[in-house]
Chains A and B, each alone.
Chain A
Amino acid sequence: AQTVTQSQPEMSVQEAETVTLSCTYDTSENNYYLFWYKQPPSRQMILVIRQEAYKQQNATENRFSVNFQKAAKSFSLKISDSQLGDTAMYFCAFNGMRFGAGTRLTVKP
């Protein structure tokens, strides 16, 4: 069974700085998809970024980028130029069905 581990329950970062959230997963599959979702305090979960395992290139969406290490089964999220609105729970997900426990990120002014 696939498992997803987010080892950082809580993190904080100063506004405008960079922060990296870690995620590791376990699978025997070769083709799969990885996601980072954000859940702001209002609770609506939204997609931040998606990575397809067969693509070598790391996905990037504006200030959000990933460091995908397939061999190490690692999928970290980097947030550059952190903004107050980035304060949220962040969930790493495998194939849309397996989620990590989440990392609570607080951006401090």
Chain B
Amino acid sequence: KAGVTQTPRYLIKTRGQQVTLSCSPISGHRSVSWYQQTPGQGLQFLFEYFSETQRNKGNFPGRFSGRQFSNSRSEMNVSTLELGDSALYLCASSSDRDLGNTEAFFGQGTRLTVV
């Protein structure tokens, strides 16, 4: 069974640009969540989707958005990039409706660098 796939693995963007990251969950998983990982802040929860609906959202500005498609694949978009958005973005998928009590399977992440 294929794991969680995130593309691209590495990305360099300029301040002010926008970026879209993609995540393909494990087959059969309908819950997808996104996290931002930085050395000083650890893992910060961005949002969670289940069956194309955003169920939970972390404390990030509106420049961060996401969506989920009918095949459970998810995309995350960041507009008007800032230097502070440089981070590793992790996607995780889960088989259960309730992310809280289910193991999350993580992708290898997309390393975004904003210059």
Which A residues lie at the B interface, using CB under 8 A? 6, 32-33, 35, 37, 42-47, 50, 52, 91, 93, 95-102
B100 in complex: contacting residue of A6, A33, A47, A101, CB < 8 Å: A33
B contact residues, total (Cβ < 8 Å): 26
Shortest Cβ distance from A99 into B: residue: B43
Which residues in window 35-63 of B have CB below 8 A to A? 35, 40-45, 48, 56, 58
The segment out of B22-30, B69-77, B103-111 that lies at the interface is B103-111
Between-chain CB contacts (< 8 Å), 13 pairs: A33-B101, A43-B88, A43-B108, A44-B107, A50-B103, A95-B99, A96-B101, A96-B104, A97-B45, A97-B48, A99-B35, A99-B44, A101-B42
Which B residues lie at the A interface, using CB under 8 A? 3, 33, 35, 40-45, 48, 56, 58, 88, 90, 92, 94, 99-104, 106-109
- The answer on a CB contact under 8 Å between A102 and B42 is yes
List of 8 A-B pairs having minimum Cβ-Cβ separation, nearest first: A101-B42, A95-B100, A99-B43, A45-B106, A96-B99, A97-B45, A33-B101, A47-B103
